[in-house]
Amino acid sequence: MILKSLQHRIVVVFVGLLALVMALLLTLVTRSNERIVAGEMKRELAAGTHVFKRLMEQSQRQLETAATVLAADFAFREAIATQDQPTMRSVIRNHGLRISAQVMMVISPAGLLIADTQREAAPPGSFPFPDLVAAAEAAGKGTGFKQMADGRLYQIVLVPILAPKLIAWVAMGFQVDDRWARELATTTGLAVSVVRRHGPQADLLASSFDDSRRVALPEALMGLTGDAVQVLSLGAEHYQSVQMPLDQDIAVVLQGSVEQAQAPFHSLQETLLTVVLGGIVVFAFGSIMLARRIVRPVNDLSAAARRIEAGDYTQPVPSLPADEIGRLAVSFDHMRERIASREEKILRLAYIDTLTGLPNRTRFLEIFSQVPAGSSGAVAVLDIDRFALINNALGHPVGDRLLSEIGLRLKQIIPRPNRVARLWGDEFAFLLDGANKAAVTAFAESILAKLRDPITLDGQRLDVGGSLGIALYPQDGRDVTTLLRRAELAMVAAKRRHSGFAFAVDTGSGPAHEQLSLIGEMREAMARQEFVIYYQPKLDLASGKITGAEALLRWQHPTRGLIPPLRFIPFAEQTGFICEITPWLLECAIDQTARWHREGLAIVPSVNLSALDLINPGLVAHIGGLLEQHKLPAGKLCLEITESALMDDPELALAHLSELSALGLKLSIDDYGAGQASLAYLKTLPVNELKIDQTFVTAVADSPKNAAIVRSTIMLSHALGLTVVAEGAETPADLSWLGINGCDVAQGYGIARPMPTDELAGWIAGFDARADGVPATIDFARAGKKRNDRTAVRSNA
Amino acid sequence: MIRAGAAWLALPLLFCGYARAGTLEAAVTTPAGSPVEDAAVVVEPVAATGPHRPPATAAVEQRDREFMPYLTIVQTGTAVDFPNRDAVKHHVYSFSAAKFFEIKLYAGKPMQPVIFDKPGEVALGCNIHDWMEAYVLVVSSPYFAKTGSNGTAVIANVPAGRYRLRLWHPRQKAPPPQREVEIGAAPVKLALALEVAPRVVKQKPPLESDRY
């Protein structure tokens, strides 16, 4: 754990190694010291023992010599020869003093004590140490250590008194006491003790020891046997001890103190230990300082790296001393600068739309992800009306500049950064966090107003507009994808309705999960024949006859009932499923038309084609095949195409349209006026019919502006050779206005609502009958209802 | 010199021509059989004291820092001279009970001889030359002889009769048991055994050292 830090590791390793080496050193020194001490002690003891022996020999020789010289003294011999007790005692006392003998005795050649300094009266009896006499008889003199009757120990020298023949022995005793032992101890360097042995027991007779050790000595000596060197404990001290016999049961014990021998080494070891510990402390301190010096810049670098990791590129890496780490820091700082600039660039590329300088879709998604959960607000999607047309007509550079200009305007309106983004093409998104529906409405109006200002590019004035779709969160969804999709759908709806803006909640698309389930169910619905076709009649205003009907798709859901087209058609278009629905629709319509024709009902039905259908390469052949199969002349089928459907792939669309036209099919431009198409453009298309958008037609009789537009459109269309169909004719006034103004065909609630297929024939028969009696007074009672349904009809395109 | 002395003593006896005089020949050996030199063989009449001879003289010389002879046997009352033949002086003494005397440092012939008037053994020493050692055996009987290097001592002209035989040696280990011997016309030959300690030659410094 502790080793996770480099600093600690350095310190631990350095100090640990030093401590190890020092411990090894100390162990070696201690071992060597112990060996030296042991050897030294052995040597000291051996040397001391040797000295002791020599001293003993020397002293013995000296005593013998002294005794011999004394015994040779003529007067002494003469006095002894007198055999007079007082004289003898006197002379031995006198001569004893001469050689410092404490005890003097005269012994007859027969071994009888004849004079003794210790006793006044000559003691009867024999000399107590016959072994000395025996030794003297053999060697001329005898020496030994003997304990006298007074309990004291004496070194006794026995020499003959010769005149010149042996006339007596003289024994001289030199007391062996503590003083004697201490003198020898001083000379030998060993402790000297003299004991009398009886078995393992030992009586201490003399010793150089002080009282405390003297007390412990006899017991310790119990363990000392033979002449081997042994270590004895005296109290706390230890002694290397050796025993030497002095005489029969008298022995001397020589001892060297182990502690004393160790003392200098102990003090050396203590000094060494102090030095080592001090060294380790100094080394540890030094290591810590060094490690700090190494680690601090590393830590600084590490902190800088963490800042960079967290995305903070502003703080420069601290400048460090110009060593290796310092150079690393410099490189590191350079790296920081480069990364910062690169990241900025990448961010720009990744998050900024280069054309407008606005955040892009990715950035928008990110920004939304930062919206706190549980908060409310809105996501709005803006699509520029007629942008594809401008792009096509004026070229991409102009389109790009237009988008750029729009971006600028949007930025002006929304000063908060990152609240507007360009999603793609001409689609922009807004994040209105915290806004309620009213605020969003106001916002939408301000945006649309701002867009309505004309934009001049290269002296060319461009009128642009936009449609806004708004999804509110959390009501419409919680994740940005759902919200964007729903806002887009709402935008499409707004565009269809030409209402400027629409809320997702109002455009009928249910919650996301319902949509998904509908998408899944569409395929099954096809198989189960849940899709049905409704027809809305088209009235030929000149003849007052029903000449056509628009085929409209309905979904009869088993559980949800009749589902309006807006709830599923957009998804069918998005998922491409529309490419399966349209052929089915075409087949049904063609089959039904052929049937009607056989029954004598000569009407021309219209079928809506989507953008996807229009670029479907098999479309033309399919329609051709169906017509042939049902023996229906091509002129008896009309195909309705919205302007925007043409715009996805104008060239391919134009090619297909030309083929269809060549087959003889009638082609109609749907929702004319809601889109960007101009008449000049439409003129180039092989179409026969123009359907004026209901926004212009509804209440045309009451709106002079609408009336002017419709009237001029009719005139222009006629001038171009096109039939004009007015959608959304809801009242008899509208119908009569249209009739008066030369419109060819009218469609709307003012004539009839869409109706199931099998009702159409009956309804036409009824209509004809009514028309015969009361022309132009059609049943308009139902007119003006359910405009939504009409919207649904258009959405089929 | 000693032998010469003995011969000198023996000659008058032989020439006296006493009838019925006998000779004692004693061969002294150690128990092991080797001859013992310087053993004194003395016979004393059992019945009465022997005839007292006029005071005789004897001499123990000091030559080459040794006493000569080692053993001298004298009859009681004999005056013994201690002539010093050496260049160095001597200090002759005896602490023996039979004769306690000393002749302090002297050269040449001392003024007066020492008269050994009591029977007994006298150990002679020199106070300044510890190794010098000699013995004088003082006996009351005139009949004595000492063994030579062959261990044989001959006492001639001993009147026939019964005698106590005494054998003595300065280094004898124990006094031998006393015995009697009958001496007649025929020579008596005796084989005697005596345990004697070997002579310990004491250290004698060479002469040169005296010069210093």
A 63-92 near B (Cβ less than 8 A): 72, 74, 77-78, 81
E strands in B46-187: 57-59, 61-63, 66-68, 71-75, 78-81, 90-95, 100-106, 114-116, 120-126, 129-139, 143-146, 152-159, 161-168, 179-183
Within a domain: residue B108? yes
Q: What pLDDT is recorded for position A676?
A: 63
Q: What pLDDT is recorded for position A293?
A: 83
Contacts (Cβ under 8 Å, ≥6 apart) of B192: B26, B27, B28, B29, B39, B41, B167, B176
Chain B residues lying within 8 Å of A65, measured CB to CB: none
Within a domain: residue A656? yes
Q: Which two tokens stand for residue A184?
A: 């020898």
Average pLDDT value for residue range B99-108: 91
Angstroms from A80 CA to nearest CA on chain B = 9
Q: Which two tokens stand for residue A784?
A: 């003006």
Among residues A509, A531, A562, which one ends one of the domains? A509
Local confidence band at A509 (pLDDT 50, 70, 90 cut-offs): low
Q: What pLDDT is recorded for position A321?
A: 79
Among A72, A78, A165, beta carbon nearest to B123: A165
Residues A504 and A588 in one domain: no
Within a domain: residue A38? no
Within a domain: residue A48? no
Closest residue by Cα to residue A709 from A698, A275, A70, B126: A698
Q: What pLDDT is recorded for position A120?
A: 61
Within a domain: residue A213? no
**Residue the block writes with tokens 């009907």:** A549
Angstroms from A36 CA to nearest CA on chain B = 50
Residues A370 and A493 in one domain: yes
Q: What share of chain A is helix, strand, coil (3-state, %, to 5)?
A: 55, 20, 25
pLDDT score of A505 more than 60: yes
Q: Which two tokens stand for residue A757?
A: 């297929």
Cβ–Cβ of B95/A72 closer than 8 Å? Answer: no
Angstroms from B127 CA to nearest CA on chain A = 7
For residues B153 and B39, the answer to whether their CB atoms sit within 8 Å is yes
Contacts (Cβ under 8 Å, ≥6 apart) of A140: A159, A160
Angstroms from B165 CA to nearest CA on chain A = 25
pLDDT score of A446 more than 60: yes
pLDDT digits 0-9 by tens, B132-185: 999 999 998 889 999 999 999 999 888 888 999 999 999 998 888 888 998 888
Cβ–Cβ of A164/B127 closer than 8 Å? Answer: no
Residues A587 and A613 in one domain: yes
Q: What are phi and psi of A357, to 5 degrees?
A: 80, 5
The answer, for A167 touching chain B at a CB cutoff of 8 Å, is yes
Within a domain: residue B95? yes
Sign of dihedral through CA atoms A171, A177, A183, A184? positive
Local confidence band at A504 (pLDDT 50, 70, 90 cut-offs): confident
Q: Out of A495-499, A689-693, A701-705, B137-141, which region has the weakest mean confidence (pLDDT)?
A: A495-499
- Cα distances from A323 to residues A2, A301, A319, A326, A334, in angstroms, run 27, 14, 11, 5, 17
Angstroms from B56 CA to nearest CA on chain A = 26
Local confidence band at A550 (pLDDT 50, 70, 90 cut-offs): very high
Closest residue by Cα to residue A569 from A622, A612, A631: A612
More confident residue, A4 or A13: A13
Average pLDDT value for residue range A4-10: 81
pLDDT score of A778 more than 60: no
pLDDT digits 0-9 by tens, B2-46: 444 444 444 444 444 444 678 999 999 999 989 999 999 999 888
Chain B residues lying within 8 Å of A78, measured CB to CB: 95
Residues A503 and A552 in one domain: no
Within a domain: residue A35? no
Predicted structure pTM score: 0.50
pLDDT score of B80 more than 90: yes
| Secondary structure of residue A600 in the 3-state scheme | coil
- Nearest-by-CA chain A residue for B202: A164
| Secondary structure of residue A505 in the 3-state scheme | helix
Cβ–Cβ of B123/A74 closer than 8 Å? Answer: no
Residues A668 and A577 in one domain: yes
Chain A residues lying within 8 Å of B98, measured CB to CB: none
Q: What is the CATH number of the domain that holds A560?
A: 3.20.20.450
- Cα distances from B48 to residues A355, B53, B163, in angstroms, run 184, 15, 10
Q: Which residues in B have their CB inside 8 Å of a CB on A?
A: 93-96, 100, 123-127, 130-133, 170, 202
Q: What is the CATH number of the domain that holds B77?
A: 2.60.40.420
Cβ–Cβ of A163/B123 closer than 8 Å? Answer: yes
Among residues A150, A176, A202, which one ends one of the domains? A176
Chain B residues lying within 8 Å of A77, measured CB to CB: 95
Q: What pLDDT is recorded for position A515?
A: 60
Domain span holding position A748: 516-795
Angstroms from B140 CA to nearest CA on chain A = 23
Cβ–Cβ of A165/B132 closer than 8 Å? Answer: no
Within a domain: residue A301? no
Q: Out of A146-160, A407-421, B12-26, B191-205, which region has the weakest mean confidence (pLDDT)?
A: B12-26
Within a domain: residue A161? yes
Q: Which two tokens stand for residue A728?
A: 């959304």
Domain span holding position B131: 2-199
Cβ–Cβ of A81/B124 closer than 8 Å? Answer: no
- Count the neighbouring beta carbons within 10 Å of the beta carbon of residue B175: 11
Local confidence band at A779 (pLDDT 50, 70, 90 cut-offs): very low
Residues A632 and A554 in one domain: yes
| Secondary structure of residue A326 in the 3-state scheme | helix
pLDDT digits 0-9 by tens, A29-68: 888 888 888 888 888 888 999 999 999 899 888 888 888 8
Angstroms from A164 CA to nearest CA on chain B = 5
Chain B residues lying within 8 Å of A162, measured CB to CB: 125, 130
Within a domain: residue B205? no
Q: What is the CATH number of the domain that holds A461?
A: 3.30.70.270
Measured CA to CA, the distance from residue A447 to residue A420 in angstroms comes to 12
Q: Highest-confidence range of A239-243, A564-568, A640-644, by mean pLDDT?
A: A239-243
Residues A402 and A465 in one domain: yes
Chain A residues lying within 8 Å of B99, measured CB to CB: none
Sign of dihedral through CA atoms A55, A56, A62, A65? negative
Tell me which of B66, B91, B95 to substitute to probe the interface with A (most A C-beta atoms closer than 10 Å).
B95
Among residues A176, A197, A232, which one ends one of the domains? A176
Cβ–Cβ of A78/B124 closer than 8 Å? Answer: no
Cβ–Cβ of B93/A162 closer than 8 Å? Answer: no
Tally of domains in chain A: 3
Tally of domains in chain B: 1
Residues A539 and A418 in one domain: no
Q: Give me the interface pTM, i.e. the ipTM.
A: 0.80
Residues A668 and A744 in one domain: yes
Cβ–Cβ of B95/A162 closer than 8 Å? Answer: no
Cβ–Cβ of B130/A77 closer than 8 Å? Answer: no
Q: What pLDDT is recorded for position A517?
A: 66
Residues A533 and A497 in one domain: no
Measured CA to CA, the distance from residue A485 to residue A511 in angstroms comes to 11
Average pLDDT value for residue range A308-324: 83
For residues A580 and A616, the answer to whether their CB atoms sit within 8 Å is no
Q: What pLDDT is recorded for position A379?
A: 92
- Cα distances from A289 to residues A11, A15, A181, A284, in angstroms, run 9, 13, 62, 8
Chain A residues lying within 8 Å of B132, measured CB to CB: 164
Chain A residues lying within 8 Å of B172, measured CB to CB: none
Within a domain: residue A469? yes
Residues A531 and A483 in one domain: no
- Count the neighbouring beta carbons within 10 Å of the beta carbon of residue A74: 15
Cβ–Cβ of A77/B100 closer than 8 Å? Answer: no
Alpha helices, H only, A414-511: 437-452, 480-497
Residues A381 and A478 in one domain: yes
